[in-house]
Structure formats: C-alpha cells, structure tokens
C-alpha cells in the first residue's frame, strides 16, 4: 500500500514533465518498439520452457546405468552434494552433532564434500522449492508424497544404487512401497516411520492432580483429563493442530482411532472420498464438546506442527496428538524439559480402529549429476540407514548424538522387520539418554496396535480440505458439522475425479 502511494506521489509531481517527454518519445517509438521486442525475445529465449537444456538433463524416470561398478569408477572424482538435514532454528549442539557425522562420512568417502542446508518439509515451502529447483540434492518428504513425486518424475530413480547396497529386500514391504513406482523400482528410501501418539505434559498432569504414569486410555479419559488440567492449571488441557494441512491430518488420526476411513478404494481401483463418515463426525462432535462445553482447549486454535510443539514445550498444552518421534524436534528446537514429556498410545475404539502410521522418505533431486546421485545414495546409506542395520553404524550415530546432548532412543516404528529394529535398539542401549520410562506407555503397546497407512489419493489436498472443518468446529459454536463435512467431501471427490 505504502509503496504504491509513494510511487504515485512521485508520479503526480512529474506528470507535466512526462507529458512533454511523451510527445518526444512518440516520435522515436519506431526505434524503441523493435528494441523492446528484441529484448523480450532474448528474455523469452532464456526461459526454462524455451531452453532445450532441459532435455539434456538426466531423465529422472529412466533407471540410471551407473551401477556399483560405474559408481566405483567415478568414485574418486571430487563431488559436492547438499543435504537438507538441519531443521531451521536447530541448537548449536544439534549442528555440532551433524558436523561430527559429516566429518565421519567424509573420512569414509574422502572424495565427497557434504554441505548441510536448513530444511524442513512443509507443503507450501516444498512446492515452491521444487518448482524453483532450489531443493537440496538430498531431501526428505513424507510417505504421502512419494508416489506422486515419482509419477510426476520429480525425484530420481535410484533403484539400482539402492539395491546395490544389499538390503533393499529387507525393507518392510508396507513401508518401502511408499517410495516405489508401480513396477517396484525404488526412487525414495524410507528412513523413519512413526505411529501417531498422545503426547502429554507430565508436569501439568501432576499439577492437576493426575497420575502421569497412568495416562488416558480412552477418549472419554482424555476429555476428562483435559477438563481437569484446564480447570486446575488454567492452560489448555487438550489442543488440536488446525492449519497447514495438519488439521486434516489429526482429524484423520482421530477417525482411524474410531474405526473410520477417509477414502475407500473399489475393486476397480476407483477411489471414493468418505470424509463425511460417522467416525469423523463423532471425532468432531467430541472436539466441539471439549471446546464449547468443557472449555478445556484454551484460546489458540490455529496451531500447526511447529507451533503446537513450541506451545507444548512451553507448558501451555496438556495433551495433543502427534507423531511418536516428536521428542527430538522439541529438544532440538523448543528446549523441551525432558521431565515434562510423556507419550502414550492413542486409544483405539471401534471394530476397525487403527493407528495412523506415517513416515519419512529420503529422495534425490532431479537436478543432480550421476556422480552426485552416487554420492547422495552413499549419504542416505551412511546417515540414515547404517544406524538401523549395523552395530557399528548404530553406535557411531549414537555416540555422535550423545556427545552433543542430542536425543538417542526416541520411539519409532520399524522400517525393516521387528527383529532388526529390536537389534538396533539393543546396540544403542548404553547410549540412550531419553527418559524411556516416560515413554513406556507408548513403547509397551504400540506394537500390539494395528497401523493404518494414510489416505492414498491426494492425501495433502484431503488434509487441506479438512483444515477449515476443524477450524470451524473450534471457533464457531454453531458450526454445522454435517454441512462442513459434506462440502469438504465433495471438494475432495472433485479433486480425485480430476485425477
């Protein structure tokens, strides 16, 4: 607004001069027209769409021929890769731990230079970086985006390189499928899996007279505990994420926990949106009651992933649902006091109830050379996989983290088989520095729970369509849940039908 006004003010002052100028310029317009067109032509010729250089870039959909032997041949050529591994706002200790791991990697692969970059996946920032070609050479994405990016040839096919590592067949098939195309070729490597959990503040539980070692086991328990915390401590007993697609993500979690589903896939493969199912409605009715009848949800209803972590670490939230691996982020970014942290499984109620499971894939940018792709897979193997597969890798990783006061032993779900997972936990036993006893309510029960994958078709768009529904319920006492769900369902069905 200001700039425009200033601009016009200046323009007004020079109008008379311009009028005189325009008369002179008009006589020379025959000169300037072709010049301007020529410049525009040059600019257009330099544009990405007009440039033939795009065709000379490696085609990400083509399996690369550079197998292990080719990699070895090129191995001694110096190569530099950027890796998106540093959360914005990470503490110096987290940076130091990463630098230590990078130095260990570069000792093993002296011809590779690793340059860490700040990176945190969010839908809007990822889309912009993807379109602009500014993503790091190695970046991470949620399970929900793997197949879509592969189908659109936006990440590199690294099948041969990953299979050359020798453990591709050990992946849990339900996990690796998120990074495979229709023919089973690997374009993204699963590096972590989580189950949704109920994170709770043990200190607030104690302050409210609740037993933090006996967290809620039913949704009614959660509601009662939230009411008690709010009444006794004055902070939100329970909070729900509601923006940046997280509202839909959490509502889907609640729906799964009651046995509902957001999409169904017919025998013909046709996907039908089922957002207006009875379980989603029940989950929203409960939220509405907690917000407007119990007044146990505080006064902030626009939390996203980062802000709810921050509020929880600051002692402003008693309970919320989120990934079981949040502890690391909250320590690294939000200075969480370990004594505050408690985590338990989400109550499952209903015939087909399950825990929403998700995870993270590591992928390689399409704008990389063959040598960089080799180096990228080496990095993925070293940084993400070796700690899960080998005792040496697990201990080296744990030592680097512990030396810099970073969490070791945060609960997660296996991306290989359960035996491999148990072995990796055993290897790092002596280095575990997280309050495992406070995580027992989760770790002792999660493997008995049914894990359900996220909706498969247009997942993030589905979540985005549900954000306003959650927001409406939390900010409007008279929100019409049926109408809201019907509208969101139609919106998602239209997106699915469009393909």
Partner 1 sequence: MSAVSEAVPVSEPIERRSGLRFRISRGGLGTLVFLTPMLVVFGLFAWFPIVRAVVMSVQETNLVSEPTFVGLNNFARVLSDPQFGTAVANTAWFALLALLFGFPVPIILAVLMSEVRRGRGLYSALAYLPVVIPPVVSVLLWRFFYDASPHGVFNTILGWVGAGPLPWLQSSASAMPSIVIEATWANAGATVIIYLAALVAIPPELYDAADVDGASIWQKIRNVTLPQLRSVLIVTLILQLIATAQLFTEPLLFTSGGPNNATLTVLLLIYRYAFQNSLGGDYGMAAALSLMLAAFLAVFTAGYYRLTRSWSTSS
Name every residue whose Cβ is closer than 8 Å to that of residue 306 and which is 6 or more positions away in sequence: 120, 333
Choose which of 377, 394, 467, 485 interacts with partner 1 (CB under 8 A): 467
Q: In the bound complex, what is the minimum distance in angstroms from residue 23's beta carbon to partner 1?
A: 14
> Which residues in the 392-431 window bind partner 1 by CB under 8 A?
none
294 is a contact residue toward partner 1 (CB under 8 A): no
Closer residue to partner 1 in complex, CB, 28/76: 28
Alpha carbons 105 and 113: distance in angstroms, whole number: 9
Q: Which stretch binds partner 1 (CB under 8 A): 109-117, 374-382, 433-441, 459-467?
A: 459-467
Choose which of 73, 131, 403, 483 interacts with partner 1 (CB under 8 A): 131
Q: Which stretch binds partner 1 (CB under 8 A): 24-32, 81-89, 254-262, 339-347?
A: 24-32
Choose which of 222, 464, 466, 492 interacts with partner 1 (CB under 8 A): 464
Alpha carbons 213 and 441: distance in angstroms, whole number: 8
Closer residue to partner 1 in complex, CB, 101/201: 201
Closer residue to partner 1 in complex, CB, 242/385: 242
Q: Which stretch binds partner 1 (CB under 8 A): 64-72, 167-175, 177-185, 293-301?
A: 293-301
Choose which of 85, 114, 130, 158 interacts with partner 1 (CB under 8 A): 130
CB 144 within 8 A of CB 454: yes
325 is a contact residue toward partner 1 (CB under 8 A): no
| Torsion of Cα atoms, 332 then 401 then 215 then 197, to 10° | 70
Q: In the bound complex, what is the minimum distance in angstroms from residue 325's beta carbon to partner 1?
A: 20
Q: In the bound complex, what is the minimum distance in angstroms from residue 458's beta carbon to partner 1?
A: 8
* Strand extents, DSSP E, 261-396: 263-265, 271-273, 317-323, 341-345, 355-364
Q: Which stretch binds partner 1 (CB under 8 A): 25-33, 105-113, 171-179, 221-229?
A: 25-33
> Which residues in the 94-113 window bind partner 1 by CB under 8 A?
none
231 is a contact residue toward partner 1 (CB under 8 A): no
Phi, psi torsion values for 292, nearest 5 degrees: -100, -30
Which residues partner with 321 through β-bridges? Answer: 198
Q: In the bound complex, what is the minimum distance in angstroms from residue 491's beta carbon to partner 1?
A: 7
Give residue for tokens 């699915």: 496
Alpha carbons 288 and 76: distance in angstroms, whole number: 61
- What's the start-to-end Cα distance of the chain, in Å? 39
Choose which of 491, 492, 493, 496 interacts with partner 1 (CB under 8 A): 491
Q: Residue 98: enclosing H or E segment and its boundaries? A: helix 92-108
9 is a contact residue toward partner 1 (CB under 8 A): yes
CB 372 within 8 A of CB 81: yes
Name every residue whose Cβ is closer than 8 Å to that of residue 253 and which is 6 or more positions away in sequence: 196, 321, 346, 355, 356
Closer residue to partner 1 in complex, CB, 170/477: 477
285 is a contact residue toward partner 1 (CB under 8 A): no
Alpha carbons 121 and 72: distance in angstroms, whole number: 32
178 is a contact residue toward partner 1 (CB under 8 A): no
Alpha carbons 306 and 321: distance in angstroms, whole number: 13
301 is a contact residue toward partner 1 (CB under 8 A): yes
> Which residues in the 35-74 window bind partner 1 by CB under 8 A?
35-36, 39-40, 43-44, 47-49
486 is a contact residue toward partner 1 (CB under 8 A): no
Alpha carbons 290 and 227: distance in angstroms, whole number: 8
Name every residue whose Cβ is closer than 8 Å to that of residue 489 and which is 6 or more positions away in sequence: 273, 274, 275, 276
Counting every residue written for the chain, the total comes to 499
Give me the sign of the Cα torsion angle 165, 170, 171, 173. positive
Alpha carbons 200 and 438: distance in angstroms, whole number: 10
Judged by CB under 8 A, how many residues of this single chain contact partner 1?
Answer: 63
Q: Residue 251: enclosing H or E segment and its boundaries? A: helix 246-257
> Which residues in the 232-251 window bind partner 1 by CB under 8 A?
242-245
Return the structure tokens found at 78: 């110096």
441 is a contact residue toward partner 1 (CB under 8 A): no
Choose which of 248, 298, 306, 323 interacts with partner 1 (CB under 8 A): 298
Alpha carbons 310 and 179: distance in angstroms, whole number: 31
Closer residue to partner 1 in complex, CB, 2/56: 2
Q: In the bound complex, what is the minimum distance in angstroms from residue 37's beta carbon to partner 1?
A: 10
Choose which of 229, 385, 401, 472 interacts with partner 1 (CB under 8 A): 472
Closer residue to partner 1 in complex, CB, 190/298: 298
Q: What value, to the nearest 5°, has the Cα angle with vertex 249 and ends 243 and 253?
A: 140
Phi, psi torsion values for 377, nearest 5 degrees: -70, -35
Alpha carbons 211 and 194: distance in angstroms, whole number: 26
Closer residue to partner 1 in complex, CB, 3/267: 3
Note the residues at the interface with partner 1 (CB under 8 A).
Answer: 1-2, 4-6, 8-9, 12, 28, 31-32, 35-36, 39-40, 43-44, 47-49, 121, 123-128, 130-132, 141, 145, 148-149, 152-154, 242-245, 298-302, 304, 366, 460-461, 464, 467-469, 471-472, 474-476, 479, 484, 487, 491
């Amino acid at each position: 607004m200001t700039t425009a006004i200033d601009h016009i003010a200046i323009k007004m002052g020079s109008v008379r001069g311009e009028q005189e100028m325009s008369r002179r310029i008009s006589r020379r317009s025959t000169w300037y027209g072709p010049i301007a067109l020529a410049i525009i032509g040059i600019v257009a010729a330099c544009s990405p769409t007009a440039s033939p250089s795009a065709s000379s870039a490696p085609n990400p959909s083509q399996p690369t021929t550079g197998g292990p032997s080719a990699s070895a041949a090129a191995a001694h050529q110096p190569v530099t890769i950027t890796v998106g591994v540093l959360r914005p706002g990470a503490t110096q200790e987290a940076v130091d731990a990463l630098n230590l791991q990078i130095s260990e990697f570069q000792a093993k692969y002296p011809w590779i230079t690793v340059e860490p970059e700040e990176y945190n996946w969010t839908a809007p920032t990822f889309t912009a970086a993807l379109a602009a070609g500014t993503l790091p050479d190695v970046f991470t994405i949620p399970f929900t985006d793997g197949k879509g990016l592969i189908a659109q040839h936006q990440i590199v096919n690294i099948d041969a390189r990953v299979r050359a590592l020798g453990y591709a067949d050990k992946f849990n098939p339900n996990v690796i499928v998120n990074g495979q195309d229709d023919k089973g070729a690997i374009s993204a490597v699963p590096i972590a899996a989580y189950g949704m959990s109920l994170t709770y503040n043990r200190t607030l539980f104690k302050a409210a007279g609740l037993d933090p070692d006996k967290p809620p086991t039913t949704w009614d328990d959660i509601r009662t505990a939230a009411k008690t915390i709010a009444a006794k401590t004055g902070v939100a007993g329970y909070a729900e994420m509601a923006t940046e697609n997280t509202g839909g993500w959490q509502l889907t979690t609640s729906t799964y926990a009651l046995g509902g589903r957001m999409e169904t896939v017919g025998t013909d493969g046709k996907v039908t949106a089922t957002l207006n199912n009875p379980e989603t409605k029940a989950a929203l009715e409960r939220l509405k009651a907690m917000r407007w009848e119990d007044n146990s949800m505080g006064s902030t209803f626009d939390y996203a992933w980062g802000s709810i972590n921050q509020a929880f670490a600051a002692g402003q939230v008693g309970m919320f649902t989120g990934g079981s691996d949040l502890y690391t982020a909250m320590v690294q970014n939000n200075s969480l006091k370990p004594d505050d942290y408690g985590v338990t499984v989400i109550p499952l109620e209903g015939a087909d109830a399950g825990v929403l499971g998700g995870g993270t894939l590591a992928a390689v940018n399409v704008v990389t050379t063959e040598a960089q792709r080799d180096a990228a897979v080496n990095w993925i193997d070293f940084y993400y996989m070796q700690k899960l597969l080998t005792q040496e890798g697990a201990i080296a990783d744990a030592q680097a983290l512990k030396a810099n006061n970073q969490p070791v032993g945060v609960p997660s779900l296996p991306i290989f088989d359960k035996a491999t997972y148990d072995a990796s936990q055993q290897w790092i036993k002596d280095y575990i520095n997280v309050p495992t006893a406070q995580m027992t309510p989760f770790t002792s029960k999660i493997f008995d729970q049914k894990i359900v994958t996220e909706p498969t078709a247009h997942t993030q768009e589905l979540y985005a369509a549900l954000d306003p529904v959650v927001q409406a319920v939390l900010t409007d006492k008279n929100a019409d849940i049926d109408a809201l769900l019907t509208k969101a369902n139609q919106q998602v069905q239209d997106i699915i039908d469009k393909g």
